[in-house]
Amino acid sequence: MATDTGLRAALRSRPFSILFLGYVVSAIGDGMAAVAIAWLAIVLARGHDTGLLVGASIAAYTLPGTVAGLSMGRILTRWDPRMLVLAEALLRALALGLVAAGAIAGILTPIEYVVLLGISSLFGLLGASGNLASVAELLPPAQHVAGNSLISVAGFGAIIVGPALAGLVIALSSPGAAMAADAVSYAALVIAVILSRRFQPAPPPSGPGQSLLTTLRSLGREPVVLGITLLCVAFFGLYGPVEVALPIYVSQTLHAGPAILGGYWALFACGATAGALGASSVQRFGLGRVAVAAMAGWGACLVPFGFTHSVVVGLVAITVGGLVYGPFPPLKQTIVQRHSTAGSLTTLAAASAVLTIPAAPIGTALGGPLVAALGPGRTLLASGLATLAAAAVAALLIARRHRQAEQPAGAAQPDGAGRAGEAGATDAAPG
């Protein structure tokens, strides 16, 4: 009998459901941090170099872990995936707890704030790799899309709940209290990881541990994983300018306030949540094809911003954009899981993350000059058209892989090409 691929089937796995609950709590904490980090930076700046401190604080919460991860390849090959999640959660809880304690006591300085946020992020790449590998470890392959969808839903839902909850906590107490809530959320993830299943000794490595630099080179030997990684780099990089252009579009083009901007992001998150929940239903069309379609759909939804100043049209476009974007993260994770060889999942996931995590911040940094040169509406239009073009290139590459797979068995082709094409017939990603 075929394995049930639905969301309920994934949640019937007790180890996964416990771990998923921990993810939900920590995702809400991170959603609160999206507001609390910037607000605490504003308070600590006291009117001096506020923009610099806000930018440094936000960057410190994510980017140092990418750099530090380059030296952690041997840990990734030897540790149980849940140990990787546990390591990141423990460090986040401790460092953010110190931030909260210093802020509440009134002794935290701006330099200490940025340093502690940077320390909290040092194991971020371990956590990202462990999250992906844990789903593969705790669920059968047929339920990977469902498990990844649920993890994505936790993140999208946190975008809706977290910022509002942070605003309430800050209004009733202080930014330090909101940071304390983020620290507690990671402590909850620590407990969930411990309860999800008793840790077993990691299997002995089959060979010497690899550095991530070596693993980055090995991505070339996993063309499907490399393909979806490059697709993500393009997608997330082209998304980056939207985070700069949309607030300015709302303020200067629509002459509207923060409530409208909040409405845009809230509707995007609602659409993305619904889209992620539907990822299990669309996987039968091919993981790679649906991922490329999601990218194209998001690009198309940005195009109207270049031609209309209607708030209603914008709200509809961003909601539909979230709906078509929602399946992309869980499908990307499933492609990496299915096309990583035994024992290489965590390192390949980390190597992929090294390339994809910086893409959106780099795109965001380029968004400022683009908005200055083109204006917010045209920047959104340019981002949409470029995303459509990148999706079209990816679609052509997938079509070429399928043509290679359909060649007659006796046709001349490179050794192994037929096997690669056959394996990618339903799950192909550009590569």
Residues 153 and 185 placed together within one structural domain of the fold: yes
Average pLDDT over residues 246-262: 76
Is the pLDDT confidence value at 307 over 60? yes
Burial (Cβ within 10 Å: 0-12, 13-18, ≥19) of residue 285? exposed
Tokens of 402: 């399928």
Per residue in 353-367, pLDDT (tens digit) is: 778 877 877 787 777
Residue 266 resides in a domain: yes
Residues 248 and 392 placed together within one structural domain of the fold: yes
For residue 206, what pLDDT band results from cuts at 50, 70 and 90?
very low
d(CA 55, CA 41): 9
Query: Which pLDDT score is estimated for 321?
Result: 93
Residues 74 and 46 placed together within one structural domain of the fold: yes
At residue 322, φ and ψ (nearest 5 deg) are -65, -40
Contact 144, 135 (CB under 8 A): yes
For residue 341, what pLDDT band results from cuts at 50, 70 and 90?
low
Residues 169 and 236 placed together within one structural domain of the fold: no
Is the pLDDT confidence value at 240 over 70? yes
For residue 323, what pLDDT band results from cuts at 50, 70 and 90?
very high
Residue among 176, 202, 221 at smallest CA distance from 41: 176
Q: Which domain holds residue 264?
A: 210-404+420-431
Q: Report CA torsion sign: 124, 129, 132, 134.
A: negative
Residue 316 resides in a domain: yes
Query: Which pLDDT score is estimated for 98?
Result: 95
Domain count, the chain: 2
Query: Which pLDDT score is estimated for 388?
Result: 94
Query: Which pLDDT score is estimated for 35?
Result: 75
Residues 263 and 191 placed together within one structural domain of the fold: no
For residue 410, what pLDDT band results from cuts at 50, 70 and 90?
very low
Residues 254 and 384 placed together within one structural domain of the fold: yes
Of the three residues 196, 230, 264, the one that is the final residue of a domain is: 196
Average pLDDT over residues 239-268: 78
Residues 162 and 251 placed together within one structural domain of the fold: no
Average pLDDT over residues 244-259: 77
Maximum distance among all alpha carbons in the chain? Answer: 75
pLDDT mean across residues, the chain: 78
For residue 199, what pLDDT band results from cuts at 50, 70 and 90?
very low
Please state, in angstroms and as integers, the Cα–Cα distance from residue 76 to each residue in 122, 227, 351, 396, following that order: 14, 22, 10, 34
Residue 204 resides in a domain: no
Instruction: Quote the pTM value.
Output: 0.68
Average pLDDT over residues 231-253: 84
CATH number of domain containing 159: 1.20.1250.20
d(CA 133, CA 113): 32
Residue 152 resides in a domain: yes
Residues 186 and 218 placed together within one structural domain of the fold: no
